[in-house]
Structure 1
C-alpha cells in the first residue's frame, strides 16, 4: 500500500512541475506544436518516471550501511487481533471512489458519442467526408470522424468548419484529449491536473486556428464563423469541437504576433528541470530492494528465520546482495540454520543446490556450510540467474554462494566493524 501512495505522490508532484513550467514560460508563446509535445511528453513522463532508476544513470551502484537498512526493518511479530485498517487504506478508498465516479462520467460521454454516431450517416461535402447528424450539434471530430449537422450551416461556415476539423483529424488531437482525460481520472484530486487538461485543449485549438489561417483563410471571416458556430446545438465533451468558452482567448492568440526564435531557449531551459525533478522524486532501486526485502522477511515463517538478537544482526533475503559476515551471523550446528539461511538468500526456500566457491576455489558438492567457523569468513556474496551463469557457466544455474576467508583472524577478533550491504546490478 505504501508503494502505491508513494507512486501517486511522485506522479502528482511532477505533473504540478510540468504545469507550472508551461504556465510560467510557454503558455504565451505561439510555438503551439512544441507546446503540444511538451505537454504530451510531460504527462507520459510523469506516469512512467517512478519506475525508472534515474539516479542510477549517473552511478553504477549504491553502497548502504547496515544502519540504513535497519531503518526499514522492524522487529516484526504478528499480534493477535491487530488492526489491519489504516489511514492509508482510507485514503486509497477515497481516491478509488473519485476515480470510479469520473470513469462513469467518461463512459456516459462515450455512450453519448455512440448515440450521435448511430443517428448520423456517411456524407460528403466537396472534398471532405463526414458524418451528417440528424439533429443540431456543435461540430466536432473524434479520431478520423467529423460530425456535423449540415442543415444548420451555410456554405462559408461549412468551409471553415471542415478546414478546422480536418486539421484535428490529421493531427490525431483526440489522442491528447484521451490521455489527459485518463490522467484526470487517476489524479482527480490534483487541481493542477484539471488546469493542465484545459491547457491541453486550449493549445490544440490555438494550433488548429494557426494552421487554418496559414492556409489563407480570411482572419475576420473565420473568427465570425467561430462565434456563430459555437452557439448552435449540443456539445460533446470528449471530442475536438468549436468551444465558445475559450473563444475570446483564441481570437487574442490569433491576433498575437508570432514569438521570436530566441524564445525557443525556454524549452531548452525547462527540459532538464523536469528530468532532474523526476530524479529527485524517484526512490532509488536500493531503497526499493530493501523495502521488498523487508516484506519477504515478514512472510518467512518464524521457525525458518534466524533470531534477530541485536542491531548488528539482520536476516536478508534478496538475490544479488553482498553481505559482510557480521551482517548474517551464522550459528554453526544449530538446527541446520546456516544452510537454510543461505538457501533463503538465494532461492527463497527452494530445494535447488547452489555452487559454493571459497576464495576462488569450487567446493565439492558434499560441502556443508554448517561446518564453517563464522569467525573465519570475511564476506558472503550471493549470485543468481544470468549473473551466476556468466561467472561460472552452466554449473551455476542454481546460483552461486561465494565465501571469502579472513586474511588475519587475530586482527579481526570479535569486533563487528565495516558492516555494509552492497546491492549489485544483476
Structure 2
C-alpha cells in the first residue's frame, strides 16, 4: 500500500514538473504541434518513469562479531502492535474520488451520446456532418462534426468547418480522452487540471493555425471566433469551437512564428528528469565483502553462520536454502516475506527441517525493518548437529538457551544430563520411546554446573498456546508451564468452554479427597529406528580470504591465500570417492527406511485410537472431580 502512494506521489510530481516547464518556457511559443507531443509525452513519462529503478551495489566491510556462536539461542518472535492503518484510510478516499469522477465521465458520455443519437448524418469523404437545430456550439468528436447551420452565414460556416476538420484529421479527440483519464486518476493533484487546460488550449491553437492557412480572409475568421463566444452551451468530451480564452487565440493567430533556435527549450526538461532519477529512482544495495559462497562466516570452530539482514533479497534467501540443503541435508523454508516501500524486510518466517523433524522455527512480523539475525549450525563432539537462530537480543544474554532438536537422535547423551518430558523428570529410555513427530521443542540448557534437556510434546504445548493456565490460582505463562514437574500435579480442571485450565500441585492450598479413579489408557509403543545414519565424510576447512581485493590489497597475503586455496582444492578432490560412497550409503539408507515409515503410519493410526481413549478418560476424571 505504501509503495502505491509513493508511486502516485512521484507521478504527481512529474506532472507538476512538465506543466511548470511548459508554462514558463513553451506556452508563448508558436510550436503548437511540438507542444502537443511535449505535453502528451509528459503524461506518459509521469506514469512510466516511477516504475524504472536503477540499482547500484556498494561493497562494505563485514560487520565484526565477538559473540560465541557455538551456543544456540531460543527463538524470538516479534509481535506487531495494533495501530490505525492510515494508508487504508487514504486509499479509501482515493478510490472514492476515482469512483465519483468515473460517474461524472459516464454522465458526460451519456449526454454526448444523447446529442448524437438519432440524428441525420451526411457523409463527405472521411468526415461525418450532423446539422442540429439546438443552440449548441460547434464541436467535433473523432470524425463527426456537429453544428447548427441556421446560426451562421456561409463565410462563418466555412471557418467553423475548416477548424473542426483539423481537430478531426489530427485525432484531437484522443488527446481529450487521455487528458480526462489522467484527471480521473490524479483528481487530487491541482496540476493535472491546469495540465488539462493547457492541452485543450494548445489543440485550439493548432486548429486555428491550420484553419487560417486554408481561409483567404483571416479577419473574417477572427470575427467568427468572437461570434461563437455567445454560444456557451458546449458538449463535454469533444473538441468544441468555443473556448473561454478567445482573446488569447486571436493573439496567437496574429503572433509571428517563433524562431527555430528556440526549440532548445524542450531540452531543458532533460536535466530535471535526470535529477529525478538520481534522487528517487536509484536504489543502493549494500553487500559485505569477502563472503564465501558456501559458509558466510565461521564464528568459531565447527560453527557455520548464515546472516540475514533487512536488505537480504529473495535470491539470497533462495541461495541460503540451497546451501543448507546441499551441505547439511536440511530443508529450509522462507515464507510470509513482507517488505516496506524501501524493499526492506519487515516480515519473515523461517522453518528448518530434516526429514519429519523440525529443528527450529522463527517468525518476525513488524512495521519496522527486521533486526539482523543469523542461522547458526554446529556439530557436537558426539556427532549431533545443532541448529539455532541467533538474534541481536540473544547476544546480550550471558546464559543462553539452545532451542533446537538434534538431527541425529540415536547418539550418546551425557550421563549427568537431567531429562524432563513435559515438565516431568524422565530418563533416556523414555526419551527414546518418544515419537519425533509429537515433539514440539527440545530445550538444552547449558551452564557450568549441569546440563538439562527439556522436551515439550505437541499435546502439552497446545495447552499453553490455546488456554489460560492457572497454577494454584496464579496465572502463568508458557515458560512456567514448561518448567512444571508433572509428578507434583494433584488435579487439572478444564472449564466448560475449554478456555481456562486450573492446575493444583502438591504444595498448593487446595485439599483434595482421595478418589478411586480409573486407570488411564496405555499409549502405543512407537517403532524404534535401529538403523544408523551414514556419517558424512569430514570436510576440510576453507581458508579465509584476506581483506581488500587482489589488486589494491595485500598482494603477499593474497598470494598466500591462493596457495592455500590450491591445497584446499586438492583435499576436496581427494574426498570425491568418499562423497560418492556416502551418496550410495544414503541411497541404501533411504531404502531401509521404507519399512520403518510403514511402521510409523501404523503407529499414527494407533495414536488416533489412543487420543480418543484419552478424551474419554479425561471426561471421566472431570465428572469425578465435580462430584
Q: TM-score, normalised to structure 1's length?
A: 0.66
Sort the Cα spacing of 1:291 and 1:164 in 2 relative to 1 into closer, same or farther, 3 A. Answer: farther
Rounded to whole Å, the distance in 1 between the matches of 2:229 and 2:61 is 65
Contact 1:136 1:233 in 2 (8 A): no
Rounded to whole Å, the distance in 1 between the matches of 2:37 and 2:537 is 61
Contact 2:127 2:143 in 1 (8 A): no
Sort the Cα spacing of 1:307 and 1:228 in 2 relative to 1 into closer, same or farther, 3 A. Answer: closer
Partner of 2:161, secondary structure, is helix
> Per residue, is there more helix in 1 or in 2?
1
Sort the Cα spacing of 1:334 and 1:281 in 2 relative to 1 into closer, same or farther, 3 A. Answer: same
Aligned to 2:491: none
In the alignment, structure 1 segments of 5+ residues that lack a partner are 69-74, 316-327, 338-366, 379-405, 410-426
**Post-superposition CA distance 1:98-118 (Å, at most 9, x none):** 222111111111111111111
Aligned to 1:156: 155
**Post-superposition CA distance 1:120-174 (Å, at most 9, x none):** 2212579953123352311111122212233333322221111111111111111
Question: Which runs of at least 4 in structure 1 moved beyond 6 Å after TM superposition?
Answer: 367-378, 406-409
Partner of 1:85, secondary structure, is coil
Partner of 2:230, secondary structure, is coil
Rounded to whole Å, the distance in 2 between the matches of 1:303 and 1:243 is 69
Aligned to 2:2: 2
Aligned to 2:338: 295
Partner of 2:45, secondary structure, is helix
Aligned length: 328
RMSD: 3.9
Rounded to whole Å, the distance in 2 between the matches of 1:159 and 1:368 is 97
Partner of 1:131, secondary structure, is strand
Sort the Cα spacing of 1:8 and 1:134 in 2 relative to 1 into closer, same or farther, 3 A. Answer: same
Aligned to 1:334: 386
CA displacement at 1:246 relative to structure 2: 1.4
Rounded to whole Å, the distance in 2 between the matches of 1:93 and 1:200 is 30
Rounded to whole Å, the distance in 2 between the matches of 1:120 and 1:247 is 30
> Per residue, is there more strand in 1 or in 2?
2
Sort the Cα spacing of 1:165 and 1:286 in 2 relative to 1 into closer, same or farther, 3 A. Answer: farther
**Post-superposition CA distance 1:283-307 (Å, at most 9, x none):** 53859x9598661666644555568
Contact 2:349 2:362 in 1 (8 A): no
1:85-234 to 2 correspondence within 5 Å?
Answer: 85-124=84-123, 129-232=128-231, 234=233
Aligned to 1:257: 256
CA displacement at 1:63 relative to structure 2: 2.9
Rounded to whole Å, the distance in 1 between the matches of 2:188 and 2:62 is 37
CA displacement at 1:83 relative to structure 2: 3.1
Whether 2:129 is the aligned partner of 1:77: answer no
Rounded to whole Å, the distance in 1 between the matches of 2:33 and 2:52 is 27
Rounded to whole Å, the distance in 2 between the matches of 1:300 and 1:208 is 59
Sort the Cα spacing of 1:3 and 1:235 in 2 relative to 1 into closer, same or farther, 3 A. Answer: same
Aligned to 2:583: none
Q: TM-score, normalised to structure 2's length?
A: 0.46
Rounded to whole Å, the distance in 1 between the matches of 2:246 and 2:363 is 70
Partner of 1:236, secondary structure, is coil
CA displacement at 1:185 relative to structure 2: 1.2
Aligned to 1:25: 25
CA displacement at 1:10 relative to structure 2: 0.5
Whether 2:48 is the aligned partner of 1:48: answer yes
Rounded to whole Å, the distance in 2 between the matches of 1:313 and 1:50 is 29
Rounded to whole Å, the distance in 1 between the matches of 2:121 and 2:193 is 35
Larger radius of gyration: 2
Aligned to 1:270: 269
Partner of 1:104, secondary structure, is helix
Contact 1:329 1:374 in 2 (8 A): no
Rounded to whole Å, the distance in 2 between the matches of 1:22 and 1:139 is 28
Contact 1:136 1:232 in 2 (8 A): yes
**Post-superposition CA distance 1:62-101 (Å, at most 9, x none):** 2365999xxxxxx97344xx43632222222222222221
Rounded to whole Å, the distance in 1 between the matches of 2:149 and 2:110 is 22
Contact 2:159 2:224 in 1 (8 A): yes
Rounded to whole Å, the distance in 1 between the matches of 2:267 and 2:535 is 61
**Post-superposition CA distance 1:238-270 (Å, at most 9, x none):** 110122311111111111111111211111233
Contact 1:119 1:133 in 2 (8 A): no
CA displacement at 1:217 relative to structure 2: 3.7
Aligned to 1:417: none
In the alignment, structure 2 segments of 5+ residues that lack a partner are 64-75, 287-309, 315-336, 340-344, 353-360, 379-384, 390-533, 546-560, 565-627
Rounded to whole Å, the distance in 2 between the matches of 1:376 and 1:306 is 31
Contact 1:7 1:50 in 2 (8 A): yes
CA displacement at 1:51 relative to structure 2: 1.0
Greater RCO, 1 or 2 (C-alpha within 8 Å, sep 6+)? 1
